[in-house]
Every structure is written in structure tokens, then in C-alpha cells.
Amino acid sequence: MAAAEEDGGSGVARQAELRRAEGNACFRKARLGAAIDCYTEAIALCPGVAVYWVNRGLCHFRRKDWARVEEDSRRALALDDASVKGHYLLGCALLEKEDCALAVKEFDKALDLLKSSSSRDKMAEDIWQVLAKAKYLDWEKHSTQRVWKMQSLREACENALQEHHFLSGTLSEDSDGRTNEYSEQCKLLSEVFTNAILADTPGDVPDYLCCQITFEIFRDPVITPSGVTYERTILLEHLRKVGNFDPVTREPLKEHQLVPNLAIKEAVQAYLKEHSWAYKLN
């Protein structure tokens, strides 16, 4: 009896896998409706398999049906929290809802999972692109509010400083015409708030933090034997499509010669932490 039940269970699992294979074939042909039907059948047979929910979520992703993307990705992650695609899909759905902070958490989790698996597939680049978008939109969303709060705080500080010196009788200039303590403190206060606002104002990213090919801020910088640093994916594309040489120095170059530039990567991370607007891509 137990053996028969076991055979029945394995038979259901095989049927579910067949439905998944059919769904994959339909997905590759962009027959999304048929693919969704196949994955739905697989889920009905084996609802505890995370990849079936992820695959159906990918179909909804192609259709931009974000409510269903969120639903299927959450079901998948409840079954397997280590699903890179599950976190990616959920992040995309949250980003469409303009819930940027939560989207960033999902994209960060997806990238961390990819790093732990030592994977360098194209998905890492896709995740970084939407992560950068989410962080920039989050900065943009709160930028005006931060400036307004900064201005209000500045006015409050200036009023408090003026009141303090008025009560202490040190508001006017010294008798010999020299700048008094109140004027010096006002000047210092102005510099502090001006610098704070400038730090949150978009500008030019320093050249040493940008790839010489894309002119965008580095994500995964690598250095060549010539001493030039490039974005890894862009340089690898150059080596594959153009030739095995350094784009700048023209010296011979092979993929195995590339070394991660950890110093630049840390500098980029520190810069982005202080200047979230720099996440905006060209």
C-alpha cells in the first residue's frame, strides 16, 4: 500500500514536471497564456515547488501584470527564500507600486544570493539596473522633502541663535568694528547647511569612479595589467566582440588577466552612500 502511494506521488511529480517543460517551451515561443496554463497545472499538482510559482510569475512579469507578479513571487519565496528570481520579481512588483525602499531590500537580497553562488550571469546586471533605478527614485521621492526640512531646520537654528545673543547682549558688532561671536556663528551655520544641501544635489561623478567606456559609475570594476579600470561586463563584451586587447592601451588582454579593483569598488560604495542621486544611469 505504501509503495503504491509512493508510486502515485512520484507519478504526480512527473506529471507536474511535464507541465513545467511544456510551459517552458511555450514561454520561449512567447505564448504566455499557454505557458501560464501549464504552470498553473503544475502548481495544482505540486503546490510546494517554488520554481513553478516563479515561472508563472515570469509570465506575468512579461505581461506587466504586477499584482500577479507580486502574488506568485511571494508564494515562491515562502517556499524557497533563496530564490534569486523570486526576490527579483518581488522587487520589480514593489518598484511598480513605488515602494522603493522595500524594492531595494529585495534586489539587495537577490544580489547577495548571486554573490554567494559565485554566479556572474546576465541576471546580476539586470538586478543591478533595477536596483539603481529603485535607489535613485527613492532619493528623488524624498529629495524635495529633505530640502524643505533642511530649510526649516536652518531657520529654526538661526532664530534660536539670534534669540540667544539678543538675551545675552552680544547681538551687535564689537565697538572696534570687529566681527563678533554672533556673526561668526551665523557664518558657520550657513556653511554647514549649504554643504549639506550641496551634498544632496546632483552633480558630476568623479571620473575615477566611472568606466572609461560607458562613463557610468562602476558596479563591478576590474583592473587590467595596463593599470586601467573598466566595468567587468562591458570589458568582457569588448573582449568577445572586438578582440583580445585593452580598449585604451591596445595591449594584448585575456579574461583571466582581469583582477577585481576592490579599492575602487569600496570608493564607489562610499560615494553612493552619500550621493544616492549618482545611481541614475545614462
Domain ranges (residues) in the chain? 11-132, 207-279
H helix runs in the chain, sequence order: 2-28, 32-45, 50-63, 66-79, 84-96, 100-116, 122-168, 181-199, 232-241, 262-274
| Pair 51, 73: CB distance under 8 Å | no
**At a CB cut-off of 8 Å and minimum separation 6, what does 141 contact?**
98, 100
Confidence at 194, pLDDT banded by 50, 70, 90 = confident
pLDDT tens per residue across span 203-235: 889 999 999 898 889 988 999 999 999 999 899
| Domain 207-279, architecture per CATH | 2-Layer Sandwich (3.30)
Tens of pLDDT, residues 72-122 = 999 999 999 999 999 999 999 999 999 999 999 999 999 999 887 655 567
Question: Rounded to an integer, what distance in angstroms lies between the CA atom of residue 188 and that of residue 58?
Answer: 55
Contact predicate 143/200, CB 8 Å:
yes
Q: What is the pLDDT of residue 199?
A: 73
Please give the pLDDT value at position 5: 39
Domain covering 11-132 in this structure, CATH number: 1.25.40.10
d(CA 194, CA 187): 11
Q: In terms of residues, how long is the chain?
A: 282
More reliable by pLDDT, 43 or 199: 43
Distance CA 157, CA 163 (A): 10
